[in-house]
Structure 1
Amino acid sequence: MTSNLKERLKESGKTFLVGIAGDSGSGKTTFANAIRNLLGNDIVSSITLDDYHVYDRQTRWKLNITPLHPEANNLKLVETHLMLLKKGETIRKPTYDHSTGTFGEWEDFTPTPVVIVEGLHTLYDGLRNYLDFRIFVDPARYIKRRWKIKRDVEERGYNRQKVVEEIIRRESDYKRYIDFQKIYADVVIKIFPTALQSVERITYLTEAPPELYKVRLILKSGDFVPTEPIKLDIDLSAFVRASEKDFALGFFSDYYYEKPASFIDIDGLMNVELFSTLLDILKKEVGADVEWKMNTYVNAIEVAKLLVCWRFLELIKFRLEAEL
C-alpha cells in the first residue's frame, strides 16, 4: 500500500469536498490556497459559488438585493452540482466575472481528488451535507471591512465609495443569511487584532509595524481520529530560543453552539525555523515538496493555515483507513 497521503488520494478514486464559507473579503481564498499549496494543483481544484449568482451587478443594484440573499443565488443548481461532484462526475457550470460584474460562458468542470468550494452560502441548508470538511472564516468586523476595501479597490478596480456603500448595505443580510453557518463548521477561524503589547514597541516608532493578528481556531470535536494521528510536536527549548518576537499560544476546551470543541489561540510572530519544523511534518505525510512562502517570522494567520491543513489531513487519513 502507498504510504503517503497524496498518492493514496489519487488511488482512492474518491472526491473529498472542502467547503469554505464566510463573508466577502473575509479570507476564504487564503485558507483555500493553503490546502492547495500543501497537496498540489494536480489533485486540488476549486469552484466559487459567486459563479452561481442569479443577477449581474447592475441588476442587483436596481433590485436592491445583495449577493448574500439566498434568492440572489441558484442554490438548487449548486446542490445538484455538489451531488454530482461527490460522485466524481463532470459538471457544466456558469461563470461570473468580478471585473465586469457580468456572466461569462458556461464551462465544464471535472473534479480532482480534492475540490474546494468557496462561497457565501457554502454551509447553507441543502449544501453542507455533501461536504467532507467544513470551514467558516470569521474576522472581526473592522478587519473584514479593511480587507474587502483593499481587495475590491486595489485588486478589482472598484470605485471606493461604491465599495463602502456596499459594505454598509449588506451587513444586515450577513447576519440573516451568512453568520449562522458557522454553527455547522468543523473549523471556525476567528481573526482579531493582536492582543500582545510588544517589548519591542520602541522600534515600531521608527519602523513599519508588522502585520499582527490574533487567531482563535475553534475545532469541533469529531470522530475522525486516524489510527496513527499526525503529531505536531513542539520542542519547548526551541520554542523558547526562537522567541525573539512576541508570540503566544493558548488552548482550552469548551462548548461551541452545544458541541464540544477545542479552542486554540495564536498571537504574534512565530520564528520561521519553528514553523518549518511543523510544516515538515505535514510535508512528510503528504509525500511531496510544498511551496509555502515564509519570511523570517510568520504571523498567526500563517500558523492557523498550517493547523487547518493538519486537521484536514487527519480527516483524509481517517477516511482512507476506514475504506481498508
Structure 2
Amino acid sequence: MLKEKLIKSGKVFIIGIAGDSGSGKTTFANGIKRMFGDDIVSHITLDDYHVYDREMRERLGITPLHPSANNLKLVETHLYLLKKGEKIKKPTYNHKTGTFGEWEDFESTPIVIVEGLHTLYDGIRDYIDFKIFVDPARYIKRLWKIKRDVEERGYDRDKVIREIIRREPDYKRYIDFQKIYADVVIKILPSSIQSTERIKYLVDSREEVYKVRLILKKTDIPLESVSLNIDISDLVKASERDFSIGFFSDYYYAEKASFIDIDGFLNVDIFKSLFDSLRKEIGDGEIKVESEYVNAIEFSKLLVCWKLVEVLKHSLRL
C-alpha cells in the first residue's frame, strides 16, 4: 500500500493549502488527514508564525495578511528542516485569546500538511510538493468567517465584520495571487441548482448547497482510469437527489488546466470506482462516508485526494 511505501521511503512530502481566513483551508486539511490517517500525517498552521499578537496588530493598524506581520523566513527554515526529516521547535498562537503560547516540538511525518494565509508565498512554496488554493466566493467566505469567529472563537460579531472589511485590500495584495502557483484551485460558489421556484427548497432550505469548481493544472504525471457510474433509470424515475457535473478545458493563468464543476448531492454509488481506487492505494480503514449522499465539497475532497495519490505514487517512483 501507498502508506507503507511512504514510510519505507524516508521521504517527507509537504502539502500546502493556502487561502484567506475562513475560506475552508482547515476543512480540506482535515479531509486529507482523515483519508491517510494520523499515523503518517501531521499538520502545521502558519497562524502560529504571526509576529504580533492581536492587541499589537490593532495598535499598529496591520492585518495578519500582511507579510511583515508574519515570520515567513522562520517558516522557510522550518520547512527546510522538516524536508530533511529533522525535528523543529515551533511557535504557537491561541485564536481565542489572540496571544502566543509556549513553543512546541514538532516532528516530521511522511506527509506534512501546511495551511495558512501565505503557504504559497514567495520562498515558502519552493518547499511545497503539492499546492492547493481554496477560493470561496466572497459572500460565502464572509458567511463562514463570521460563523467560525463568533461561534467557535467567541469574537464580537461587529468586530468580526469590521475586520473582514479592513482585511480585503490586503487579501488582494498578498493572498489572492498565490493561486497562480497552485496545482489545484478549489473555487466554492453558490449552487446553480437551488432555484427559488422549486418547492423542495421553499419547504426546506436549511441544507447548505454549494457548487465547487476544481481547477487542476495539467501535468505529465500519468493518471489511472477512474469512471463515474450514473444510472439513467434513477434519473428518469426522479429517485436521485439533485446534482450536476460538468467539465471543460482551458488555460488558467497561461497554463493548461482541467475545470470540473460539481453541484448538489451525489449518491456514493456514482463514484464507487473512485472509492475503490483510493481504497486500493491507501487501505479500507481510511475511506469512510457516513451517508448515502455527499455534497459537492465532500466529493471535491475525494477528487483532490485521488489527484494527490497519483502525485505521491509518481514521487515515490522517482
TM-score by length of 1: 0.93
Matched, 1:261 2:267: no
Distance across 2 between alignment mates of 1:169 and 1:79: 28
Give the structure 2 partner of residue 185 of structure 1: 182
Matched, 1:77 2:71: no
Distance across 2 between alignment mates of 1:171 and 1:43: 36
Contact 1:272 1:294 in 2 (8 A): no
Corresponding residue SS for 1:150? helix
Matched, 1:63 2:40: no
Give the structure 1 partner of residue 244 of structure 2: 248
Residue 233 of structure 1 aligns with an amino acid whose one-letter code is S
Give the structure 2 partner of residue 218 of structure 1: 215
Residue 172 of structure 1 aligns with an amino acid whose one-letter code is P
Q: How does 1:270-281 map to 2 (within 5 A)?
A: 270-281=266-277
Contact 2:279 2:287 in 1 (8 A): no
Give the structure 1 partner of residue 145 of structure 2: 148
Distance across 2 between alignment mates of 1:65 and 1:292: 42
1:271 Cα offset (Å): 1.2
Distance across 1 between alignment mates of 2:239 and 2:188: 22
Matched, 1:13 2:5: no
Give the structure 1 partner of residue 91 of structure 2: 94
Pick the aligned partner of 2:27 from 6, 26, 30. 30
Matched, 1:309 2:288: no
Give the structure 1 partner of residue 230 of structure 2: 236
Distance across 1 between alignment mates of 2:34 and 2:214: 20
Contact 1:38 1:283 in 2 (8 A): no
Residue 156 of structure 1 aligns with an amino acid whose one-letter code is R
Contact 2:228 2:272 in 1 (8 A): no
Structure 2: gaps of 5 or more residues: none
1:55 Cα offset (Å): 0.1
Distance across 2 between alignment mates of 1:171 and 1:95: 25
Q: How does 1:37-48 map to 2 (within 5 A)?
A: 37-48=34-45
Contact 2:275 2:287 in 1 (8 A): no
Contact 2:195 2:201 in 1 (8 A): no
**Taking structure 1 as reference, are residues 156 and 239 closer, same or farther at Cα in structure 2, changes over 3 Å only?**
farther
**Taking structure 1 as reference, are residues 195 and 246 closer, same or farther at Cα in structure 2, changes over 3 Å only?**
same
Residue 253 of structure 1 aligns with an amino acid whose one-letter code is S
Contact 1:224 1:319 in 2 (8 A): no
1:200 Cα offset (Å): 9.2
Distance across 2 between alignment mates of 1:233 and 1:275: 7
Contact 1:53 1:72 in 2 (8 A): yes
TM-score by length of 2: 0.95
Distance across 2 between alignment mates of 1:239 and 1:271: 14
Distance across 1 between alignment mates of 2:51 and 2:68: 8
Structure 1: gaps of 5 or more residues: none
Pick the aligned partner of 2:294 from 295, 298, 304. 298
Contact 1:243 1:271 in 2 (8 A): no
Give the structure 2 partner of residue 107 of structure 1: 104
Distance across 1 between alignment mates of 2:73 and 2:29: 24
1:285 Cα offset (Å): 1.1
Contact 1:246 1:268 in 2 (8 A): yes
Contact 1:17 1:114 in 2 (8 A): yes
1:297 Cα offset (Å): 1.8
Distance across 2 between alignment mates of 1:51 and 1:258: 34
Does 88-97 or 199-208 show the bigger shift?
Answer: 199-208
Pick the aligned partner of 2:122 from 121, 125, 130. 125
Corresponding residue SS for 2:285? coil
